[in-house]
Each structure stands twice: as structure tokens, then as C-alpha cells.
Structure 1
């Protein structure tokens, strides 16, 4: 493990300036629509990336981190400029609040965070500026697209039904890092960054921290946590890798249209759907000494009565048509809790209808299916589904928005 002072020295050496208490005399790394980004800003961002990820980079990795730091600063400069154009402001109090939430998430105090920054050679404004740009972009995107991103009850119901119907397929509990490729010439560079992140994890960096710093996915704010994802919802390139991966591993870089994924497979579940049945029954006792003809007559009588049932409210009256028969409300049961022969008989029914008489320990029984619902563990609530759908759509709109802003801007990298 490299001492922090050695890492700071390596970072400072990249800019050709041995560190400065102020930005006086610093070179310009890039100019974004006439606003400069200094080499000091780039080095400070690199140190912040190293401090937050826990990485122990070598000189080659530091060079790639320098490129990533500059790209991030350019995007943040564009986001702040666009926010100013629409008079979106972020107050210092709002930055303080976000910093407090960050501290709470990491079970530390704000003073602890600031002390760690200073010990790593990082000025607190480096973190505050990053938080400010994230908040400004979030406010701008919410204001621009929030009213347009609507999720209907039908869309929620369709998504829920699709999730339930797919639960017989494998499910993957994943976290993700998505590294976008803006043009073909960036592919090698992005792949190198992905491999660098994997090496940082080998050296002890945590996946959620790297996701917050590097990922362009909507899940970045939550450390890349994408929750349970069903087979069929993932890109084929991603699922083909996860299918063969054991839980607890991080994937190699996975090329997909638009970028590269790193996937942490936290758990895998083959899944399964449970049919929840609401049942009633009519039982017709048959004496043990009944002849075969008497048993057949009882079976036919019960079958005729059961065939006439068209609602569960009619079960009691139907049972009253047969001497000695009695109804039973069995309530809601999982089909896995039924005896195999009863489960098989009920499986082919549609509500409301009855099975043919079955021979049971109580005599002859006909089971009436009042309702059937599918359920499974891990199905998100309607609120969670709606939030996920809104987040996905808003993330796509935000990416397109930033892409348009880049296209219309002048960025001069020195």
C-alpha cells in the first residue's frame, strides 16, 4: 500500500507544478465556453477520487484518472452553465444539507469528512463544488422533465404483471457501473478505465464508492444498487455473463451499445411463482359400507350440483341440495399447500368453477375456485415500480440533454 504522501506527490507531478496553496500560476487544462478549468482543479479532483474510492493507483492508473477527472470537470462545468442559463441556483445551505446526508450515509460526521479531505491534500471546496454541480443538474433535469415523466396506473400494473410472470426465470441482485462511450475513438480509453476500476477493487476500493464517482447510470447516487433484476430485463450481453457468474463476483468489462458495464453480482435466485387460491368445498360423506352403485349415484349428484355453481356465494345453497353435504370456506391457500391430487384438479379451473368430485378421507369432495392470484417474494410495491420507471425515463432524458449541451458547446482541452 502506497503512503498517502507518495500518492499526493505522484498526482502533483502530473501537472508539472509541485503543489500550490493557491491557484496562482496554474496552467489551464481546458476552456469550456470561455470558462477555464485549471490543472489545480484537475489534480484536486484526482485526489478526491483517490480518497473516496480508497484506490492505491500506480502512475499508469493515475494518467487514466487524470483523463476521467478532466472529463468529469468539463461535464460539471457544462451542467452549471446550463443551470445558470435557466436561473437555477444552489444555495450553500443546500450544499451543507447534501454534505450532511453524505456523512450520515457513511456513519461519520461532516467534520470527519473535512478532516479526511485535508489529510489527503484536498481543499473542502473541491467536494462542495462537485456536490453543487450535481444538485444544480438534478434541479434542472427535474424542472425540465419532471412534469413530462409520468407513470400511469396501467403501466404500473403491466410492469407488475410482467415481473410476476417472469419470476419463474432467474433473478439477479446486482449493482452496476456504466461507463458511456461518446464516440468510437473513446472505446479503448473507456475499457482501460473499466479495467482500472477492477484493479482498484482488487486493491480494496469498494464498488458503491466507485459507482458514485464514475458511473453514468441512474443508480450511481445509490452506489450502483439496481436491486433485483429479472432475466429478460437485462441486456443479452450482460445476462450471458451473469448466467455463468457465481454470486459475490464482479464481472469483466461488458461492452453494450453506448458504453461498458461492470456488474457486481450480489445474489442469484432461480425464483418461482406461487399461486394463491381462494377456495371453498362441498363435502358429501359416503358410508364405508356403501355399494359401488350407491357411491356412483352420490358422485353423480355432487357433480351435478357443483356444475351449477356460478359464484362462491352460491356454494352454501348448493350444498343444501344434497342430504348430509356441508360447505367449507377454506380461505386463501398457496397451491403448494394442497395435496397433489387436489392441486392438479384445481390447476385447470378458472374462477368461479368447481372440480369434479374427488375421493378423500372425508368422502366425496368438490373444490370451488373463487379466485386465483399470483404472488412471489421480492415483487416491488406499486410505489417502488413507479419510482423505478420514472428514474429510468428521466435518466435517459438527462443523458440526451447533456449530450445536446456538449454538442452545442465549445470545449478546448489544452
Structure 2
């Protein structure tokens, strides 16, 4: 491995150096696995001076990477008066800080919603089984108590939020990649991809603006209307606002009024498409369920984004959840009367086998709708990308 040192100014604040193999690919692929019992998506990093392995929950909207560092030597803490700290926290220092006061950051557990305080540290990080090692990567060391509720064995969160010290910003500057990343979720495996390599599937994407809310690290897009089987739901213009995209919500949630209209329209269209359809009692936490035998065709759901010309189409494999061999349910949930300003949260099940490209430079979201309609899948894309990366590293 050859050693290169890059002095890169990140937002005029952050300086990093990088050790890279000679044959580094023009992309970085992080494999994802779905945790069976929680439906969270996990990726692996190695961190600290001993490059300890850590499985992390992928949270699209979390602002940074945080890890329980208790099992490894403590990395170098960042002082609260440093420019790295002031770029990460709004009020990093107490009124009269000591000379070595650490930079404290609030951390949120995406599974429980619980909060704890972590310390910003400067650590060694490697991605994908030690392929590349960054020797000055900013992350937060978290107390062990905040891991409660995360998948067994996981050690923290891999945040993809649009922040200055988020992994995406750091990777793009260190590796001189465009400031964007792609995400492909699957029930088997998936990937996060950063860099320059883009296959044919990217050329068929639709694009919609990302809503820019100052101080908000989450990813939101406009929602103008919803259609079921090409019929618009009877909702006032003021009822709909935006969609929040989430990798930690297993299933999509809608505000109560919107959910009720969706359910009514979906049941009506499902009965019209399936003459022998049998409605069965709620199951698995879902309100609308049917007998599998009579459910042959699923109504198509269209999310109309910034205009009628741009729509996210949800087919049956993303809208329906098979409970068992006899019951299938509509995989949307009633989110109550308040979803923190959003009309809808688009959850993991609805995202699976949809290729997403988050371009932070242009503030645009590219989306493929279902790859299965293109005779592909996130699992296939991930396997192909990993094979290409391995080939580049061995050449």
C-alpha cells in the first residue's frame, strides 16, 4: 500500500489525510445487509488504532457517524474550541471551558428516539474490510447505553445526513469524489455507492429537487398529489406537503387523513381488479389485509412529486407485505395527525429495489422506481459493483 497525504480544505474548515491502495477504484461501495428481526440495514466499518470491526445501522437522516468506542483504545478527542467542533455543533463549549474540554455532540438512537451525549474524535477509519484507511476521520464516540434497541451486535449508526462532518461529505472531499451517493436497499443485500462509476440504470432515472431546510440533515422531497390506479385521491392542496425518506422506518407512514383516503381508494381498486378478493382481519400491525389466493393484481400507487411529469410509482412488491402463505397486507401505516411537518415518511420496504441517487451538489434526488421492472434488483447491482471493486483492487 502506497501512502499519500492530501491536505484538503473541507468547507474551509476540515483537514484530512488518506492512505490508499495504488489500484483504488473510482467508486467506494459499502455492502448492506438487512437485519431479520428489526428490518434495519447494516454496514460494516473498521475504526480506531486497532481497526476494530463495527456493524452500524444505516440512518439516511442521521447527521454523522457514531460508534461505541468502549472496546477499543479511545481515539483523539477534538477540543471544543477547534474549527472541527464549531463546524459540527452550534454551541460546542460551555461558558468557561477547561483547556482540554472535549467537543460534545448530541446523539440520537434511531430505533428508540433516545438521546445521549458523545464526543467528537479524530480516528482511523476503513471501509469494506480494510480496503482503504483514512487516518483522520471525524466521528463521535458514544456511550454504550445508547445502543439499547439497536440490532444485537451493532455498535452505532452510519449517518448519511447532509452535514459538514457527515461521512458523505468527508469521503467525497478526501477521495475527490463528486458530492453525491447512491443507495440501493434489498431484503437480501444492498449497497451505498460513492464516486464516479455509473451504469446504464442511472440513465433511466427521474429527478426531483431535495427540499433544503436550514439546519435539517434529513432528505425530503415535494409531494403534490397521490394516485391509486391513475385516480387522484381527493385531498386539498393544503393537505399535502412533503415526503421524508427514511431507512430506519421499516414501512411507510402517512398522516391520518391521507392514510384513510389511500386505504379507501386502494381497497376499491383492489376489489375491482380481483373479483374473488377476500378481506381478512388486520395482521402484523397492518390494517388492510387480504387472502393471498384471491389477490392476483395489486393497484399501482403513484406519488406525484414536483409536477405531474415526475412520479414515484409503487408496484405491488413494494406496496404489499406477505405475512404468511395465506395473508397479504397493504404495507402502509397510519402515522397520526403529525409527522413533524411531513405528509408521509417513505420507509424501507417501499424503498427496496429502488435505486436512489442523492446529489448534494445540485440538491437533487434521482430515483429509478422499481428495478424489478427493468429485470434487475439491488442485490444484482450490489454483487456486480462489488465484483468490479474487487477486480480494481487486485489489478
TM-score after normalising by structure 1: 0.24
Higher percent of residues as helix:
1
Higher percent of residues as strand:
2
TM-score after normalising by structure 2: 0.25
